[in-house]
Amino acid sequence: MTCRGNARQNIFGDAKDEKIFLEKLKLSLNIYNISILAYILMTNHFHLVIQTPDGNLSEFMRHFNISYTAAYNKRHNRVGHLYQGRYKAFLIDADNYLQAVSRYIHLNPIRIKSLKNKTFKEKWNILMAYKSSSLPAYLSESKRKGGEFVNYQIVLDSMNGDNRKGRNCYRQFIKNGIEKDISSPLDTGKGHGIVGNSDFIDKIKEKFLDRNCSKREQPALKRLQKTFDPDAVIEQFVEYTGNSRAEICKRGKNDINRSMLMELLYRFCNITQPEIGKLMGGIDYSTVSQARKRFILKMDKDAKLRGMFDKATSHLSRIKI
């Protein structure tokens, strides 16, 4: 998926903006249980290749874009929209197109008219010097400091895995893309937002696309994984904590158990944050979102709390589905 600056204006002024962007991105990824497979930050736009197990792309992008826009506006003493309309998203056939899409976005820095006549070596050197990308860490494990939030395994699995051999294969894959001046694999998704062969496109349209949604919302997939019933999750959490449902729901906004239950409901049930709010005693969407955000931040810094969450998660295995 991609976002562009409003009226093609810059969305990154300097390296500090890019650092803030990645910090906001990592936080949003954690909150919405999303994996990022590749990214590239350009002056006036960015590309992300992400995996959304919970089918919550819209919620994720709303939170992330608002977070970065607020930080950018505050830092640059400006107001108003940062991005040009809605983000553009494609659903990718991972088996056949994921590698090609990752390569295509990684080649963004050299897909500029002024560089068209550069030699292969010059283009390669530009790519290797470009730091605002996940590409360097794909090619060298030693360059992953600060980029541990990226899941390299999924793309590299079909290239012998996330090891030296796999990384060398990906390096050659990138070089081939430079030499052949490849076309965009995203072109196959024009008009319907699905990047794949005809069989894959037909399958997705038939099984998962909501035929009543507007084209602006496509591809808006229903959640593909079988999930737990919310009441069953609450029942198991009550058993795990020894507190009643009423006690957990009545507690204040900073209560750990209350926030932990919200996070479990979001990750393992086919419900939205407003629906979680109703289950938790009628609280609004923003309260749920903020509680989950605080909980995730605390969990990142507190190994004991992480252990508690892992135990609560394991307790859900008792649920029969």
Domain segments of the chain: what residues? 2-180, 230-318
The answer to whether 241 touches 257, Cβ cutoff 8 Å, is yes
The answer to whether 220 touches 209, Cβ cutoff 8 Å, is yes
Query: Up-side HSE of residue 204: CA atoms within 13 Å toward CB?
Result: 21
Q: Is the pLDDT of residue 216 over 50?
A: no
Q: At what angle do helices 164-180 and 120-129 cross, to 10 degrees?
A: 130
Domain 230-318 top-level CATH class = mainly alpha
User: Predicted confidence band at 286 (pLDDT cuts at 50, 70, 90)?
Assistant: confident
Helix (H, G, I), strand (E, B), or coil: what is residue 47? Answer: strand
Helices (H), ranges, 9-143: 15-31, 57-76, 94-106, 120-129, 135-139
User: Predicted confidence band at 8 (pLDDT cuts at 50, 70, 90)?
Assistant: confident
pLDDT at residue 225, rounded to an integer: 43
121 burial (CB, 10 Å; 0-12 / 13-18 / 19+) is: exposed
CA dist., res. 123 & res. 118, Å (int): 6
Beta-carbon contacts of 135 under 8 Å, excluding residues fewer than 6 positions away, are 38, 40, 106, 127, 174
pTM score, whole prediction: 0.72
Query: CA nearest 30: which of 292, 305, 302?
Result: 292
The H or E element that residue 91 is part of is strand 91-92
Q: Which of 24-38, 39-53, 145-159, 261-275 has the lowest mean pLDDT?
A: 261-275
The answer to whether 12 touches 21, Cβ cutoff 8 Å, is yes
Pick 183 or 121 by higher pLDDT.
121
Q: Which amino acid is at 256?
A: I
Q: Which of 149-153, 199-203, 249-253, 295-299 has the lowest mean pLDDT?
A: 249-253
38 burial (CB, 10 Å; 0-12 / 13-18 / 19+) is: buried
Helix (H, G, I), strand (E, B), or coil: what is residue 38? Answer: strand
Q: Which amino acid is at 100?
A: A
Q: Is the pLDDT of residue 208 over 50?
A: yes
CA dist., res. 192 & res. 33, Å (int): 26
Beta-carbon contacts of 208 under 8 Å, excluding residues fewer than 6 positions away, are 221, 222, 224
Beta-carbon contacts of 78 under 8 Å, excluding residues fewer than 6 positions away, are 72
pLDDT at residue 320, rounded to an integer: 62
At residue 253, what are phi and psi to the nearest 5 degrees? -65, -20
Query: Up-side HSE of residue 42: CA atoms within 13 Å toward CB?
Result: 20
pLDDT at residue 285, rounded to an integer: 81
Q: Which amino acid is at 183?
A: S
User: Predicted confidence band at 219 (pLDDT cuts at 50, 70, 90)?
Assistant: very low
pLDDT at residue 302, rounded to an integer: 85
The radius of gyration of the chain from alpha carbons, rounded to an integer in Å, stands at 21
Q: Which of 19-33, 109-123, 139-153, 302-316 has the lowest mean pLDDT?
A: 302-316
Q: Is the pLDDT of residue 38 over 50?
A: yes
Span 242-261, average pLDDT? 84
Look at the domain 2-180 and name its fold: Alpha-Beta Plaits (3.30.70)
Beta-carbon contacts of 189 under 8 Å, excluding residues fewer than 6 positions away, are 90, 91, 195, 196
DSSP 198-259: HHHHHHHHHHTB-TTS-GGG-S-BPP-S--B-HHHHHHHHHHHH---HHHHHHS-TT-HHHH
Q: Which of 112-116, 117-121, 198-202, 219-223 has the lowest mean pLDDT?
A: 219-223
Which single residue is written with the structure tokens 């008792």? 318
User: Predicted confidence band at 226 (pLDDT cuts at 50, 70, 90)?
Assistant: very low
Q: What percentage of residues in the chain have a pLDDT greater than 70?
A: 91
